[in-house]
Structure 1
């Protein structure tokens, strides 16, 4: 069987590359331009000021702490609940992009349309682990077979960071993104909008996606030369094989714009698509269709907004698109033009709780308000006021609402907050409320046992939050971080298979501009331990594992960890070793 596949793919690569006359060398990369339609970009680049919050999970849908989140002109780190929040960002209204980075995972990227200036958007992203599909000799080429795909590399087409042919074993990391999955909306890059070869903005129906990266034996990222093609064979998901087109456009994901772009095509052979690509990215075999934009608002049966809720649009052919409501229950996104769709909402158990046919729409439209009847046993709704120690309204802050181990962030607006949490579990839940006054740097924490229902809980943020600090000296420059002006987080990680616990400290400017440091500790007992450190400073990157940490004070959650550290780190750009030293005092969470 393997021999037959190899023969088939070899024939395909000879045929397809013979028809492709574009020649690009490693030193002369292809020119890129912004496509236009009638002299205008296919999508508006208008900027607005808005907020974004979200939740990041791993492949098991567990909260992913310590992931770096970038959006607009800022970046931050997810907390121990996998949650992040930007209060105000300068983002593209028609196509805002959230990018999530975490070592060992492919980047998670979500594109969304902003519902309006000053409004807080919501995204949920599940990261895909980088799984090794196989290795091959870059000088001679070869075939790599993954679980759902095979790839053929020709000799000397893999280049290193200096654009020189890589000599050695190259590793292909790969992830298949199956549109049949229930969590496809959280995994897929972008929002299924694309720019086709006619420079038109269209919607996509996916018949399978791939994430692809190349690594050297030392972990260095490699890339293709842009001249020779890699031939791939990707299995079509079982339920989509009958309707899969004989020839389908290929699309690669453009991380800078958050849109897919058409580049080539693939041919259906048996139960698979076969095609060629000249660079690695996220790739997608998709059918396209015309789209319009739709605005809608979703409220419960009591007239309250349904925030942070996934909305599913299903076409008559069964393909789906998705969007999340913002803090006000509003959503804006694409729908197929001139088609009736089914709008639906599922509860946390995956059961459909709302379904209605709507459309068709020939132009951009506002569908108005949809009222959703909620099972009273599936919701805990909490609202109230938040005041300072002297009884004044808190003007800037949020309330962390933790229910069933999941944390939601409810912004404080005009001294009030509200949160409506849909649950899968029934019965009484432990609900922890943590109001934070960001102006006075004060907070409090209260815990309730609440049955499903609607509650009023007025809160007071009155406990002083002592500032956490981190500073370090590297190559003659001192960098210092102090909360709350900077983002400093302490996160503990417990192994799924043992009781082993490790600890991570992150320090980064809340503005997203400037130096950053990550420190991982094997223990937080008083004494000396080893530490892994990575630093981003002035555009350069440093890391090292031979760093000694002397802990002088420790404690339980809510107390502070004090330490000094010193050792050596390696500069990634040139491999030189340089000394680093510093200290930190960080609140233990």
Structure 2
């Protein structure tokens, strides 16, 4: 799938493409399975993925989840999600591994096909630190700067933290060749005005804080840190929208604005996540396919999409040669197909401007070198239907699924840059992790390649049985009865206890034990079983007032019982408070999940005012911002709700939310409409105090929901009342507000910002 990004002038990303990544997370299984993104077009499809680190080494035992199911990577760094429910308009993938930032990806699956995913996880090294009392400066790897003020850190419960703060921080340069594999999610985003957009990125930064004991830290309420991003793109606007990544929804959220100062962009943040400098665009979907001229789909080729002269996008074709992604609407798109590994262009096509979703004609290419391989994966002649073939060319690892009969064909032409490149091939059964020997080739084989994952010759049989709680047991037959056992953790008993995360959440995955029949010479077998404990995800929609349950794992065929008596997989939110659900699978395993319904409320009439500050009654909220009449974000909000009209004006929208709910309220404050006019008499010299602001009130102007009171002149820097100085023509140089008060409340109902020079 087209799963990476477009960048301005080779840097700024425009496409919302599948494949990208986010925060460090060593939290619970509940975090892994929390998905709040809306599903638009559900299909049944598969995902074959590869997870690797910054040194191109595979990462094993990483937890992988989509909204409908989950799995783990095996020892080869591979994962397969087979025939699962997915969203064709973008399926968000989470990848978790202790010691790493959370990895993620977005793929665009097609019914019956296998989407490909590549996730590069960033190590959370916490190699820098500062004292919370003093604050300090942190230099992220690869560039940028973070400035922490004094006494700005809170612990995991929101209480002030005192002590050493460990920091892991990475700056993602948009020119990095692995940028698409590292960045979180795709580049789909929720703009402040509610529109879904695709983004163009100027760079990203990931930051996580920990204490000496490993406790997760963040900024305390009301505190802000400053992020500095290198301005490395040729496109350098004076101000650029600033976004954070919602790791539960898999989308970016517009938060504020970053400003260009010299050679860097500067923005303030009130919490830490993955942050991104981006320009938003309306979007359409563009799909296509690439085939070799000699026949067959061209998998794993890179796709670069240029928008006029504004940059490039990087992506990969899947096993069927297909790619898909979101691109800017109304733009001419230049598509370049090339071998990323050999840095060789294979084809170029121009399409557009695009007014709607578009399917390109098939693109045909000739590879630098031809290298294809075909063969069979089996167990002593027995077909294995869940086989995966791995090809290693240099540092690159390529994965492909076998057909149902165990056969496979791989065209590796895109990875062969030199005539004598060495190619290592092996295969494994995804259900058991039984792995074949590795075969090495320096030229394309003429014959069928045989990969046998079973050659032990032992006669005993066995299986692993999960007790639906915490243990797996080995049940054996047809052997001597004298067995020894060896699990991955070196335990030697026939019963294995599943590992847990914090709060006793069971970790699922593929579990293997090697059993030796001591009554038969040189007889040992390895048995594996994928265990997925029953878990329940809940998605709450505050607008429709419904909760939907998404169970996964267990044995399937779920039954539901809500605390209000409902027995469907969803229930209506009728009252504020806790809603609990018990899900039971066909084996009788049960899981209870609770969520608290706390809708956001905002009163549009202020409860009080003090000069230029208006206070509003609202329920508590986690985040919020003010939106101006043009849809632009004016400022951020914290609870309790207090608005400065000098920043917001009198007509604006308040948008606040918590983990599940969001509320937008249009505010129309009392005001004098077009009734205040000012002119300036500047000072006569640099240090003279003889300036004056002439003030005129239009007696015929409407004072909406107010009554005109006194007129004041105040300093913009500290709001000091300097009316008497203005009356005596004694103003110094500076910025001032001329304000009109309400006769009854004293609140400001009109103002002009004026400079005396």
TM-score, reference length from structure 2: 0.54
| Cα 1:478/1:398, change in 2 over 3 Å | closer
1:196–1:437 distance in 2 versus 1, CA, 3 Å: closer
Match of 2:499 among 532, 535, 541: 535
In structure 2, C-alpha distance between the alignment counterparts of 1:271 and 1:360, rounded to whole Å: 33
* Structure 1 residues 534 and 206: alpha-carbon distance in aligned structure 2, compared to 1, 3 A threshold: farther
**CA separation in 2, counterparts of 1:335 and 1:202?**
10
Alignment of 1:36-435 (within 5 A): 44-114=39-109, 116-132=110-126, 134-146=128-140, 148-237=143-232, 240=233, 242-347=234-339, 348-375=341-368, 377=369, 379-384=370-375, 394=383, 396-404=385-393, 406=397, 408-413=399-404, 416-421=407-412, 422-427=415-420, 429-434=422-427
In 1, Cα distance between the equivalents of 2:470 and 2:159? 36
User: What CA deviation, in whole Å up to 9, does each residue of 1:32-88 have, x standing for no partner?
Assistant: xxxxxxxxx997533322111122221122333333322333333333332222223
| Correspondence for 2:33 | none
Give the direction of change, closer, same or farther, for the CA distance of 1:59–1:482 in structure 2 (3 Å limit). farther
For residues 62 and 446 of structure 1, what CA distance do their matches in structure 2 show?
17
Q: Distance in 1 between matches of 2:62 and 2:462?
A: 20
Contact 1:64-1:78 within 8 A present in 2 as well: yes
CA separation of 1:471/1:410 partners in 2, compared to 1, >3 Å: closer, same or farther?
Answer: closer
- Uncovered stretches (5+) of structure 2, i.e. residues with no partner: 1-35, 476-485, 508-514, 528-757
Match of 1:186, SS state, is helix
User: 2:462 & 2:273 partners in 1: Cα distance?
Assistant: 39
Quote how far apart the aligned CAs of 1:335 are.
1.6
Deviations for 1:520-550, whole angstroms, at most 9, x for unmatched residues?
x7xx9x9xxxxxx99316952699xxxxxxx
Root-mean-square deviation (CA, aligned residues, Å) is 3.9
Preserved contact between residue 132 and residue 164 of structure 2 (Cα < 8 Å) = yes
- C-alpha distance in structure 1 between counterparts of 2:428 and 2:132, whole Å: 55
Local SS of the residue matching 2:181: helix
How far apart are residue 180 of structure 1 and its match?
1.1
User: Greater strand share, 1 or 2?
Assistant: 1
- Structure 1 residues 286 and 454: CA distance shift in structure 2, 3 A: farther
Supply the distance in 2 between the matched residues of 1:384 and 1:157 (Cα, whole angstroms).
Answer: 60
How many angstroms apart in 1 are the aligned matches of 2:399 and 2:261? 46
* Count, aligned residues: 460
- Do the aligned partners of 2:289 and 2:321 also contact (CA within 8 Å) in 1? yes
Deviation at 1:193, TM superposition (A): 1.8
Q: Deviations over 1:405-456 (max 9, x none)?
A: 63523232455422112323432635434364959x9875573635147764
CA distance in 2, matches of 1:50, 1:362: 28
Q: By how many angstroms is 1:353 displaced?
A: 2.4
Task: Tell me by how many angstroms 1:342 deviates.
Answer: 1.9
Deviation larger for 441-450 or 333-342: 441-450
Measure how far apart 1:470 and its partner are: 8.5
Alpha-carbon separation, structure 2, partners of 1:119 and 1:558: 40
In the TM superposition, what are the counterparts of 1:435-446 in structure 2 within 5 Å?
A: 436=429, 445=437
Aligned residues of 1:54 and 1:84 also touching (Cα < 8 A):
yes
Contact 1:133–1:144, Cα closer than 8 Å, also in 2: no
Matched-pair contact (CA < 8 Å) for 1:51–1:120: yes
